[in-house]
Amino acid sequence: MSSTTAKELSNKFVFAIDRGGTFTDVWARCPGGDVRVMKLLSEDPRHYRDAPTEAIRRIIEQETGVPMPRGCPVKTDNIGWIRMGTTVATNALLERKGERMALAVTKGFRDLLHIGNQARPNIFDLEIVCPEVLYEAVVEVRERLLPLQDEQQDEHITKVMGSTGEELLLLQELDEDLLRTELAEVRAKG
């Protein structure tokens, strides 16, 4: 991080949030370096819709003295970053609770999550018990990208930029219309 960026961040609020099933814990460093900690109920529909947003709103309002009415969007121009983790999703996975879901994955990889990395406590165990997958349906997406490697210089293959800034080779372009149709079919099944 450059010194300019660090200086700019020192004049902004930064937040680290852990949203749990019962409580949401928030740590904030305020402009000027003061640290604030707040704990809210993760669910309190009579007082707020979203605990992380409410904590951010309260801390900024208390620190700046500028009223921020509940229910209005929080202005983000004085926020440097927000990092958020949650145990809610982890617990739902461990307890196998939550909404019904489908997996959308590149065509040919439908069994990837079921196969996994073949890690198991006893490599020579003859009876391997795998947990059931969490999804009910699989949509195989017709597309194919590969990371660009130095030796791959085929001018007939289109190069694209990934969301992380990495150059990729586009071997098969995404058929968005087909994907929308297939996802709509899955959604229609509930």
Quote the pLDDT of residue 4.
Answer: 39
User: Do both 85 and 153 map to the same domain?
Assistant: no
Positions of the chain with pLDDT lower than 50, given as ranges: 1-4
Quote the pLDDT of residue 2.
Answer: 40
Going 37 to 39 to 45 to 46, the CA torsion angle's sign is: negative
- Give the number of domains in the chain: 2
Quote the pLDDT of residue 156.
Answer: 79
Return the amino acid letter for 43.
E
Quote the pLDDT of residue 6.
Answer: 60
Cα 71 from Cα 57, distance rounded (Å): 10
User: Do both 24 and 9 map to the same domain?
Assistant: yes
Q: Could you say which of 38, 72, 94 is where a domain stops?
A: 94
User: Do both 80 and 108 map to the same domain?
Assistant: no
Q: Look-up: residue for tokens 């739902």?
A: 92
Cα 27 from Cα 34, distance rounded (Å): 11
Cα 87 from Cα 19, distance rounded (Å): 7
Quote the pLDDT of residue 9.
Answer: 67
Quote the pLDDT of residue 17.
Answer: 97
User: Whole-prediction pTM value?
Assistant: 0.54
The pLDDT tens digits for 127-170 are 877 777 888 899 999 999 888 887 666 677 888 888 778 888 89
What is the residue range of 116's domain?
99-189
